[in-house]
């Protein structure tokens, strides 16, 4: 453990770690504090490098207009941005509504440095916390109990949670920085961890996994019809040390016709990334917590980029919307189920053609949103 301003934190822990409030610490200090708090287990990065990374973090926020529009009617209070990234959605929200504050979570140190820098001018309206989002309920409880920094209302009380935002998946810098090991296009050590200070790398996972488990992983997370064939090739090629070796192994494993339909390793890389970071497991828990922590009239918005994620969101929102009702859909409910949320649109919302043309990473997005009811 180390102390951090007035807040006690776990160095490099997977659990919540509060970055100093931008209102009280100069930006240079923020970045050096960020990286020094994680020594010695984190990748060696000086504070100066930290600042450079923060200033060169380029990620174009997806469905920004839709997210803003959906959050305009919420009461005054805190929006918890569970996937803060570079802080693009967060900044737009803080600019759009002076009565909203942000508590932003991310597990990626580079993203946190960038967001801390970007949101510094909003002072105590932005609190940045290093955490995975499956800690959402604990973080909100500690904020409400005064155990961690939290935006306060005029009466000095912690502001209620009026919005929860998830913009899932990876940020552009995670894909574009070769040394993160996420990209099949850039050769680098096979890492893929969003938090590089802990957990198993993709290389370590591939070293120990058996054929059936790897086949399931590629099928479930990558929806890859070639899953078994690719899994066999990967096991035969072990140890696979780099992204380049993995991409080549997959390319050699699939028929030429598949190679002509885009990069054959795309699904394999996505499947491994989801497994390495436990993305689906974390989401399930966080969605339940999100609907619990919202006040009535508060809204939860999720942007998914993968059908497995979107299915989880659809299921969680449907269960909350029906309250687990077991009555036939065409008849009035008599089972006593109590709906907890109402939906804000039919189905899911994709990106517009204009946005897709401008930002190819928006192509696969599906947005779902619900509002908490007063029950
Ligand atoms: C698509 S980016 C968010 C971009 C951000 N909305 C913006 O506009 O700049 C997703 C971010 O979520 C983070 N992330 C993904 N899974 C996470 C998890 N389980 N807990 C915390 N952060 C997570 C990633 O590290 C990444 O920075």
| Residues 226-272 pLDDT 10s | 999 999 999 999 999 999 999 999 999 998 877 777 788 999 999 99
Q: What is the mean pLDDT of the chain?
A: 84
- In angstroms, the CA 340 to CA 149 distance is 29
The Cβ-side half-sphere exposure at 338, using a 13 Å CA radius, reads 5
Q: What is the mean pLDDT of residues 322-345?
A: 90
Tell me which long-range contacts 61-64 makes (C-beta under 8 A, separation of at least 24).
Answer: 61/85, 61/88, 61/89, 61/92, 61/167, 62/167, 62/303, 62/351, 62/355, 62/359, 62/361, 62/362, 62/365, 63/303, 63/349, 63/351, 63/355, 63/362, 63/365, 63/367, 64/88, 64/89, 64/92
> What is the pLDDT at residue 171?
86
Sign, CA torsion 15/21/22/27: negative
Cα-based angle 368, 371, 375 (whole degrees, multiple of 5): 140
Q: How confident is the model at residue 5 (pLDDT cuts 50, 70, 90)?
A: very low
For residue 347, the CA-to-ligand 1 centroid distance in Å is: 24
Q: For a substitution probing ligand 1, which of 114, 171, 199, 280 has the most ligand atoms within 8 Å of its CB?
A: 171
Q: Which residue from 16, 64, 83, 273 has its CB within 8 A of the most atoms of ligand 1, so it is best to mutate?
A: 83
Band the pLDDT of 351: cuts 50, 70, 90: very high
Which of 125 and 1 is assigned the larger pLDDT?
A: 125
pLDDT value at 32 more than 60? no
Preceding amide of 213 cis, omega within 30: no
Give the single-character DSSP code of 10. -
pTM of the model: 0.84
> How far is the centre of ligand 1, averaged over its atoms, from the C-alpha of 375 (Å)?
31
Write the CA distances from 372 to 64, 300, 339, integer angstroms.
Answer: 21, 8, 9
CB 217 less than 6 A from any atom of ligand 1: no
Q: Which domains does the chain have, with CATH numbers?
A: 58-172+280-372 (3.40.50.150), 195-276 (1.10.150.170)
Phi, psi (deg, nearest 5) at residue 184: -80, -10
- Alpha carbon nearest to ligand 1 atom 20, residue: 132
CA of 16 to the centre of ligand 1 (A): 15
Return the SS3 of 121: helix
Task: Give the number of the atom of ligand 1 that is nearest the alpha carbon of residue 131.
Answer: 21
Is 166's C-beta closer than 6 angstroms to any atom of ligand 1? Answer: no
Greatest alpha-carbon pair distance for the chain in Å reads 67
Q: Quick one: which atom of ligand 1 is closest to the CA of 84?
A: 5
């Amino acid at each position: 453990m180390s102390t951090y301003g007035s807040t006690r934190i776990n160095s490099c822990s997977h659990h919540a770690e509060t970055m100093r409030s931008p209102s009280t610490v100069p930006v240079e200090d923020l970045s050096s504090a960020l990286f020094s708090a994680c020594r010695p287990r984190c990748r060696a990065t000086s504070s100066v490098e930290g600042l450079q990374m923060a200033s060169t973090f380029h990620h174009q926020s997806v469905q920004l207009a839709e997210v803003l529009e959906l959050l305009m009617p919420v009461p005054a209070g805190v929006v918890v941005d569970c996937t803060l990234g570079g802080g693009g959605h967060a900044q737009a929200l803080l600019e759009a509504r002076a009565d909203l504050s942000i508590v932003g979570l991310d597990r990626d140190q580079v993203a946190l440095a960038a967001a801390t820098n970007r949101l510094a001018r909003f002072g105590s309206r932005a609190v940045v916390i290093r955490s995975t989002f499956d800690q959402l309920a604990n973080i909100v409880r500690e904020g409400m109990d005064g155990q961690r920094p939290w935006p306060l209302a005029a009466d000095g009380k912690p502001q209620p949670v009026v919005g929860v935002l998830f913009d899932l998946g990876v940020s552009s810098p995670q894909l574009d920085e070769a040394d993160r090991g996420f990209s099949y296009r850039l050769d680098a050590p096979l890492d893929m961890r969003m938090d590089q200070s802990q957990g198993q790398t993709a290389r370590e996972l591939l070293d120990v996994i058996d054929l059936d488990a790897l086949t399931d992983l590629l099928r479930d997370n990558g929806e890859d019809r070639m899953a078994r064939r690719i899994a066999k090739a990967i096991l035969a090629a072990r140890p696979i040390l780099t992204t380049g070796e993995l991409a080549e192994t997959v390319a050699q494993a699939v028929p030429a016709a598949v190679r002509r339909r885009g990069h054959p390793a795309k699904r394999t890389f996505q499947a491994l990334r989801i497994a390495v970071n436990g993305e689906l497991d974390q989401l399930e828990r966080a969605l339940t917590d999100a609907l619990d922590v919202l006040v009535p009239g508060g809204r939860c918005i999720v942007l998914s980029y993968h059908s497995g994620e979107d299915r989880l969101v659809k299921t969680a929102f449907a269960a909350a919307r029906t309250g687990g009702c077991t009555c036939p859909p065409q008849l009035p409910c008599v089972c006593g189920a109590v709906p907890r949320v109402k939906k804000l649109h039919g189905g899911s919302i994709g990106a517009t053609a204009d946005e897709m043309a401008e930002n190819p990473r928006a192509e696969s997005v599906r947005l779902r949103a619900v509002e908490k009811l007063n029950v």
